[in-house]
Chains A and B, each alone.
Chain A
Amino acid sequence: MSQTYQIVVCGSIVPDPLQSLEPITSPTGPALKNEMMLPAVLDPWAMHALFEAAHLAQSVPGSKVYLVSVAPKAKLQQVMMTVAQKVPFELIAVDGPASGFTEAAEIAPLLADAIKSIPGLDPHRLFVFGGWESASRGAGATMQIVGELLGITNQFQGVDKLTVGTDGSFEVLERIEGGKHQISKCAGPPAVLGWATGSLPEPPNNPQIGMANMRTVMPALQKAKPAKLTGEGVKFVSVALPKQQRQTKIVKDTPADEIAKEIVAWIQES
């Protein structure tokens, strides 16, 4: 393939999905209790996007992957210790909050500006990847706004597959309702792709990749500019955990026949 790509992955960090989360009210609005103490991971969908980006870069030699992240840099550094061992990339960090209660409309310009700062950025080679949602805000809004700010109108969300052609065109499979995929063909970059889970397994840790990445990760973290968000125009009236706790009836030492009858009766209830 003659075409090479600049693949920019947008992704932040989220609390480890297995952690219990509790909302609190902070002077700047809602937040998570002990947020800075919670173990964090790269957002799962952004992680999928990163794996897909690395896969594409590997299959098209000369391509390069950038990871652009708005997150508290101390936490981001911890997460990078693991993520950097997975696939090769160059980090561009912005020191800002990773809270789900921040506004997509405030985060997106930070990401767009960081992307614009990449030396030699070429729109005709540019793929902007990210998760189609995050595991924090879960809005599925940031990537569209980043695309708008960069003037990119080839946008795809819920992407599970990207196939690039030798002529620079590409085909995308996007999730739509009912377990189906919409198939689109595009003449070429630039494009924004919000990834769902894709189809690639998590790569094993590779210490050599980790060491190579960390050469750029540490300086990127040191250079990370602080971002101040205002949250203007939005008011959280309440933030609460769901209270619902069910009284579970435990049925044991019961023959399978009886259980089956009970289940069938329950299914057939209107």
Chain B
Amino acid sequence: METILFLSHADAGKPALEALAAAQELGGTLVVGLFGADVQPFANAIAGCGAARFLGVSGADFAPARYASDAAAAAALVKASQATMVIAPATARMNRILAGVAQRCGGRADTHVTGLSAAGVTRWYYRQRMEAVVQRTHRPWFIALEAGCHAPYTGAAGTAAVETVPVTLPALPTTVTGVHAPQSDQQTIRPDAKLLFVAGAGWTKKQPDGQTHVPEAAELILGFLHKTQASLGSSKSLVDLSGEGQVVLPFMSHLNQIGQTGATPRHPKGLATCCHGEEPHVVGWRFINERRAINLDANCGWARGKADVLYVADAFEVMRKVNALLG
């Protein structure tokens, strides 16, 4: 029987609850391993998960998301649990350490996993262009489950008896000094949004009057994002323009990019505007359920067969009216 360690930092939120629920479904002996400044509140929140043991590494040294301290804590938890399988949420913090911890513990890691069952793990290769089911005989097997791929744990809270696992930290030359976030009115990436709005390079091209209308494009896009609280994605060509020093949409960066070298976000709906790429956009939209697109090319290669609805229209005109209707 497998010993399954649910491994997470204590402030991982919903992705952690999803990974915990997936770990529960695997059967075997469940052990919870948490690290962070104070693990007790989260351990209490999941006290009813049926874990045989709750292991914790707590302290100020484990508050920041830093490789050296996180990896040391995670490796200590894995060893203390004698886990044969380790299930973790694929947060930025866990993704930073998981493969390194697997190496430290003599294990193997599968990351960006989108499905988990007795048959194996499902993950994508070649930037979401092919899907594979993988099994391993090697143990311990570390698995990082992507957010939004499993229903979260909703069991009862309680009081968990957390066993403290001692950790000897190495020298820590790295200090986390803060987080750089866009100002709230410039925050355009919203992972929990119901809608992904994708802007393509067409927004910055010459319009029927022979002129570009970048300021108006920016106003329309930001206005739409403000009214709908949608998340903003971009084609590579559009963000590359900003790197090349051209006058472009000022709020757009590589962080917004979706597709081959960008993100593949998960949202229930997606609306693409002025996008004309093929495979990179298909890749970026892999995990969007309902997809609609607005562009001027009825034969757009990426939209046909990939979008549910393609509106052949001027995106400036349509979005102007959409914003007016949204009030």
In the complex, which of the residues A100, A154, A175, A201 contacts B68, with contact meaning CB atoms closer than 8 Å?
A: A154
Cβ-defined contact, A251 with B310, below 8 A: yes
Cβ-defined contact, B111 with A234, below 8 A: no
Cβ-defined contact, A259 with B71, below 8 A: no
Interface bits B210-231 vs A (CB < 8 Å: 1, else 0): 0000000000000000001000
Cβ-defined contact, B130 with A138, below 8 A: no
Looking at chain B's contact residues, the main secondary structure is: mixed
In the complex, which of the residues B97, B102, B310 contacts A248, with contact meaning CB atoms closer than 8 Å?
A: B310
Residues of A near B168 (CB, < 8 A) are: none
Q: How far is the CA of A186 from the CA of B100 in the complex (A)?
A: 19
Interface assignment of B150: CB less than 8 Å from any CB of chain A: no
Q: How far is the CA of A185 from the CA of B30 in the complex (A)?
A: 37
Residues of B near A176 (CB, < 8 A) are: 65, 92-93, 179
Residues of B near A23 (CB, < 8 A) are: 130
Interface bits A9-45 vs B (CB < 8 Å: 1, else 0): 0000011011011010000001010000000000011
Which residue of chain A has its CB nearest to the CB of B306? A246
Cβ-defined contact, B103 with A177, below 8 A: no
Interface bits B171-204 vs A (CB < 8 Å: 1, else 0): 0011111111110000111110001000000000
A171 shortest CB reach to chain B, Å: 8
B31-39, B45-53, B132-140 - interface stretch: B132-140
Q: How far is the CA of A267 from the CA of B290 in the complex (A)?
A: 10
Which of chain A's residues 238-269 have a Cβ closer than 8 Å to chain B? 238-242, 245-254, 256-257, 259-261, 263-264, 266-267
Residues of A near B131 (CB, < 8 A) are: 239-242
Q: How far is the CA of A164 from the CA of B146 in the complex (A)?
A: 33
Looking at chain A's contact residues, the main secondary structure is: mixed
Q: How far is the CA of A8 from the CA of B129 in the complex (A)?
A: 30
Which residue of chain B has its CB nearest to the CB of A101? B125
**B104, B124, B292, B317: which has the most chain A beta carbons within 10 Å?**
B292
Residues of A near B298 (CB, < 8 A) are: 250, 252
- A-contacting residues of B (Cβ < 8 Å)? 65-68, 71, 91-93, 95-100, 102-104, 108-112, 119-120, 124-138, 170, 173-182, 187-191, 195, 228, 240, 243-245, 254-257, 260-261, 269, 271, 278-280, 286, 290-292, 294, 298, 303-314, 317-322, 324-326
The 5 closest A-B pairs by CB, nearest first: A179-B189, A141-B99, A260-B321, A233-B138, A252-B312
20 contacts between A and B (CB under 8 A): A17-B260, A20-B279, A23-B130, A44-B260, A101-B125, A104-B99, A139-B112, A149-B103, A153-B170, A154-B173, A178-B190, A182-B179, A186-B174, A201-B243, A245-B305, A251-B309, A254-B311, A261-B325, A266-B290, A267-B269
